[in-house]
Amino acid sequence: MMTFDPHPATVVSPRGAPPRIQTLTSRRRRLMEIGVLELAQLRFDETVARLSPVAFVQQALVQGVEAGCVVVGSGFRFGADRAGDVPTLRALGRGRFETVEVPPLEDEGGRVSSSRIREALLRGDLTLAQRWLGRPYEIEGRVLHGDHRGRSLGFPTANVDLEGVSALGPGVYAAEGLIEGEAAFRRAAVNLGLRPTFAGAERRLEAHFPGFSGDLYGRAVRLVFLLRLRDERRFDSAGDLVAQLEADVRAAERVPPSTGWVERRP
């Protein structure tokens, strides 16, 4: 499979670039899990953006990966100014490779697309996002040093590097997390947002693992989101916040594993 990184829109139209749904690490791992044997990662930059459809086919598909068959979605566009379409690809590939166009998947009265998945995630509608993704929504990243406020409140959290992922809407979530070096998933209560109680200005993802003790800094954490519990909000005192955090943990522990996720748990 060939993939672009970063998303082409971040180069050709930065202000209109869509939020990232997953990290490149997560994308690679998921593709390997479903049977992709090799991932051709093409770095998208100004040079690639200026390639004509003919040059793109020659450099990326013929010379780059020596394609024998190219499978694309309906409405696929490529080349500078999106000048190439599926008929263009089929014509340029004639005698070199076969072109297969996959028809769109329809659901809920419309086409399933990354844009609709992003809209569902922004609303915190994990059920709909899971159906369209074909799997529970996940975020994976390494634990960074934070301000240690959670520890001082009795709720130590792992500050997980989002690596530019911004599709999921702010709020408090029930999740399951796999910590690097461990074999089993742990239940987690996750806060994603600006931490308004502390006048935070930076978007953060903080995961609390009930009953866990140890150093997580620098370790990778994989979070599988199960349910959005509530909106992120500001509390007038530390005591009010702690009481809510206790309720969040209890609520997160009561949420059953996501449908379809149970089979993949170690």
Provide the domain limits for residue 198.
138-264
Number of separate domains in the chain: 2
Strands 186-193 and 204-208 come out as: antiparallel
Domain co-membership, 55 together with 142 = no
Residue 145 maps to a domain: yes
Q: Which residues contact 70 (CB under 8 A, 6 or more apart)?
A: 61, 89, 93, 97, 98, 99, 100
pLDDT for 78 equals: 95
Q: Residue 71: what residue type?
A: V
Distance separating alpha carbons of residues 266 and 261, to the nearest angstrom: 10
Q: Are 169 and 159 in contact (CB under 8 A)?
A: no
Domain identity same for 188 and 257: yes
Is residue 113 a part of any domain in this protein? no
CA distance 190 to 78: 39
Going residue by residue through the chain, which has 266 residues, state the pLDDT in tens, using 9 for 90 and above: 998 888 899 999 888 889 999 988 888 888 898 899 999 889 999 999 999 999 999 999 999 999 999 999 988 999 999 999 999 999 999 999 999 999 999 987 789 999 999 999 999 999 999 999 988 999 999 999 877 676 767 788 999 998 888 899 999 999 999 999 999 999 999 999 987 766 666 888 999 999 998 889 999 999 999 999 999 988 888 889 899 999 999 999 999 876 544 444 43
100/158 same-domain check = no
* The pLDDT value given to residue 263: 41
On whether both 151 and 66 belong to a single domain, the answer is no
Question: Which of 78, 104, 130 is the last residue in one of the domains?
Answer: 104
pTM: 0.84
The CATH number assigned to the domain holding 85 equals 3.40.50.620
- Say if residue 64 is exposed, middle or buried (CB neighbours under 10 Å; 0-12, 13-18, 19+): middle
- The answer to whether the peptide bond before residue 6 is cis (omega within 30 degrees of 0) is yes
- Domain final residue, candidates 104, 128, 157: 104
Q: Which two tokens stand for residue 177?
A: 């997390």
What pLDDT is attached to residue 264?
47
At 201 the pLDDT is 62
pLDDT at residue 99, rounded to an integer: 98
17 CB neighbour count, 10 Å cutoff: 14
